[in-house]
């Protein structure tokens, strides 16, 4: 980790990124008062992604929210206790919510004359060589057709053994799979701090991470300020490990203003930038297989 050095130069390089994966969390897509979808944010998000496409860039969106949308649609207040019943309820809500969420995205994308596609993944998509090969080919063909893939975990069939667990990790895995050169995580935090800024007023903001050390990885906390999303800073650092080890730059930025997306691509100093390694070899299938093991 360095506090200065080549920061401006690294930021300028973001202007030239050609294939970008954007991840947005559940809490960023909903009104905190009601849990309903925030259509204003959704519209701005879609407009930003379409503008990226108009710049000639390949774009992938990794989105959360299916279970929450489905839960709201079927008027379910709380899930049951842990066990098969709770899993079944979540999978049922995902089945309802995934369709509703995708329908919403399709309608908004259509307003900007942009075609979107849905891709649902599990760990088996990555661990199995043939599945991984087929998934890569699907993404490649969608890029050639000018389509924006919308990715989520396949919550309707995912169980402990085949789930990613959070969309921070999923987005980094997708970025590695499609050979992206930039991953942007939109969350409810500004980026990486030396400590939790909600609890420690002396916590310092970290603008750039040039080397993801063990010391930095240990700074990750398994908690998050939101009870909607599943990813705290710990999962974001794991995502950074996957991305940077796959030669991909990664930025964590606050989703409070979705328009930060084009500002990041313009090279502005927003969020925390993790610089991708240039010489590391990373075993993506092996890493995914070890998750939850």
The least confident of 11-20, 196-205, 246-255 is 196-205
- C-beta pairs of 42-48 under 8 Å, 24+ apart in sequence: 42/104, 42/105, 42/108, 43/108, 44/258, 44/259, 45/258, 45/261, 46/105, 46/108, 46/109, 46/111, 46/112, 46/114, 47/112, 48/258, 48/259, 48/261, 48/262
Question: Which span out of 67-71, 201-205, 269-273 was modeled with the highest average pLDDT?
Answer: 269-273
Report how far residue 286's alpha carbon sits from residue 89's, in angstroms, rounded to the nearest whole number: 31
* Tens-place pLDDT, residues 133-163: 999 999 999 999 999 999 988 766 665 544 6
* Tens-place pLDDT, residues 84-128: 667 788 888 888 988 999 999 999 999 999 999 999 988 888 888
**Alpha-carbon distances of 86 from 27, 82, 163, 168, rounded to whole Å:** 21, 6, 15, 23
DSSP state of 252: E
The least confident of 26-40, 147-161, 199-213, 215-229 is 215-229
Collect all residues with Cβ–Cβ distance below 8 Å to 191 and sequence separation of at least 6: 205, 206, 207, 252, 253, 254, 271, 272
CATH fold for domain 7-257+276-290: Carbamate kinase (3.40.1160)
> What is the reported pTM?
0.89
Residue by residue, DSSP assigns 76-109 as --S--STTHHHHHHHHHHHHHHHHHHHHHHHHHH
- The pLDDT assigned to 290 comes to 77
* Tens-place pLDDT, residues 45-67: 999 999 999 999 999 999 977 88
State the CB neighbour count (10 A cutoff) for residue 100.
16
Percent of the chain at pLDDT exceeding 70: 86
Question: Which span out of 74-83, 84-93, 260-269 was modeled with the highest average pLDDT?
Answer: 260-269
Of residues 110 and 197, the one with the higher pLDDT is: 110
**Alpha-carbon distances of 158 from 123, 163, 274, 283, rounded to whole Å:** 9, 5, 30, 23
Mean pLDDT of the chain: 85
Report how far residue 14's alpha carbon sits from residue 39's, in angstroms, rounded to the nearest whole number: 28
Nearest residue to 104 (alpha-carbon basis) of 154, 28, 185, 37: 37
Report how far residue 72's alpha carbon sits from residue 86's, in angstroms, rounded to the nearest whole number: 16
* Tens-place pLDDT, residues 217-252: 877 655 444 433 334 788 899 999 999 999 999 999
């Amino acid at each position: 980790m360095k506090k200065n050095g080549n920061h401006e130069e690294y930021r300028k390089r973001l202007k030239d990124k050609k294939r970008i994966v954007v991840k947005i969390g559940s809490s960023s897509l909903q009104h905190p008062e009601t849990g309903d979808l925030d259509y204003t944010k959704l519209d701005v998000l879609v407009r930003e992604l379409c503008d990226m496409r108009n710049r000639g860039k390949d774009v992938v969106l990794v989105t959360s929210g299916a279970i929450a949308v489905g839960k709201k649609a079927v008027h379910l207040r709380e899930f049951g206790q842990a066990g098969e019943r709770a899993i079944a309820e979540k999978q049922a809500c995902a089945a309802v919510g995934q369709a509703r969420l995708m329908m919403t995205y399709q309608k908004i994308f259509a307003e900007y004359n942009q075609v979107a596609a849905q891709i649902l993944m599990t760990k088996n998509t990555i661990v199995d060589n043939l599945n991984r090969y087929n998934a890569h080919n699907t993404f490649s063909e969608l890029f050639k057709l000018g389509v924006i893939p919308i990715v989520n975990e396949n919550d309707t069939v995912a169980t402990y053994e085949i789930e990613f667990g959070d969309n921070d990790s999923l987005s980094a895995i997708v970025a590695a799979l499609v050979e992206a050169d930039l991953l942007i995580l939109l969350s409810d935090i500004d980026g990486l701090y030396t400590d939790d800024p909600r609890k420690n007023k002396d916590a310092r903001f970290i603008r750039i991470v040039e080397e993801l050390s063990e010391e930095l990885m240990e700074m990750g906390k398994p908690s998050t300020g939101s009870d909607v999303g599943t990813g705290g800073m710990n999962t974001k650092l794991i995502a950074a490990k996957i991305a940077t080890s796959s030669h991909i730059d990664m930025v964590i930025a606050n989703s409070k203003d979705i328009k930060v997306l084009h500002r990041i691509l313009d090279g502005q100093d927003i969020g925390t930038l993790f610089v991708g390694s240039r010489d590391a070899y990373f075993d993506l299938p092996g890493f995914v297989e070890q998750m939850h093991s």
